[in-house]
Amino acid sequence: MSRRFYNLPPLTTLSAFETAARHLSFKDAAQELSVTPGAVSHQIKALEGDLGVALFQRQHRGVTLTADGQALHDVLASSFGRIAKRLDTIRESDDSEKVTVGSTTAVAAFWLSPSIVQFWRAFPDTSVDQLTQDAPFSPRTKLDFYIRYGRDEDQNLPHTPLYRDELIPVATPELADRLKDAALSDLATHWLIHLKSDGRDWTTWHDWFRELNYDGPINKGTQVTSYLVALQLASKGTGLALGWRRLIQPLLDSGDLAIVGQHSLPAPREFYLVESNHDVLSANAISLKNWLLKSEPGASH
């Protein structure tokens, strides 16, 4: 069979494979591609026949990638991501100098936004857009990079370590003074403000107590889905929130919150700056990245 210059299989088969591999489901891939599961299966079989290897292991309750399938998907996901970014740049040539950065709402409020304001003073002609959300970012989100606690599931994305925080209980200064000598068992029975997050890496009160070798009962307290809300409730005297010391330093400096006792835990994971588009950062994006690396929470300005 004759091949074109790059000796590639049809792009429709590669696209079907990448989608099925990303979902680990022919059914979900078919839904994304607006075709039938049978059509996806046909494309996968054609690609496997062309390559002479199995790319999936078919199981009763789904599929898993073989070693060859995983290797091929890593390359395709990276390449398709770079192609998509380049096409976006071509389509939006007027915005080619714009930088887009993502973070959680708390990271944006306490660190990223103030840092970008300082960046603008040094680079007034550079346009920066911020995208804030408390759910993990999708690979399809149009970002140059984003700030993340813990490594992204896509290990192929470039990760630059930013800093490692320290986890401490925080409350109003009055409550912190009353609990300044409290043991872990006393803190555990106090009213706790729990954060429910879609991010699996986020450290919880249960994680914090367990890492400090306390395995007793823990107050169920109040559950919220926003870290900013958790801090606001704590500042109003509702209970104890789990504080990220370097991140919330502005609230500690202002006296809105105070550290409770002497119990602290180094965060199990680091914060990372994750490039979502591999090696296609613009000059402006590189400038902002370098600026943020110098202005991490707790760093001198």
DSSP of 247-284: TTHHHHHHTS-EE-SS--EE-SS-EEEEETTTT---HH
In this prediction, what percent of the chain has a pLDDT beyond 90? Answer: 71
CA atoms of 257 and 247, how far apart (whole Å) = 13
- Mean pLDDT in residue range 235-260: 95
> What mean pLDDT is reported for the chain?
89
109 has pLDDT over 50: yes
For the segment 197-223, the average pLDDT, to the nearest whole number, is: 89
Find, among 276, 257, 93, the residue nearest to 176 by Cα: 257
pLDDT reported for residue 300: 42
Whole-prediction pTM = 0.65
Amino acid at 300: S
pLDDT at 3 over 60: no
Question: Averaged over 116-121, what is the pLDDT?
Answer: 94
- 26 pLDDT band, cuts 50/70/90, is very high
Q: Domains in the chain, ordered, with CATH?
A: 11-91 (1.10.10.10), 96-162+270-294 (3.40.190.10), 166-266 (3.40.190.10)
Residue range 16-40: average pLDDT?
A: 93
> Is residue 73 within 8 Å of 156, Cβ to Cβ?
no
Average pLDDT over residues 212-220: 94
Phi-psi region of 34 (alpha: psi -120 to 50; beta: other; left: phi over 0): left
Cβ atoms 101, 288 nearer than 8 A: yes
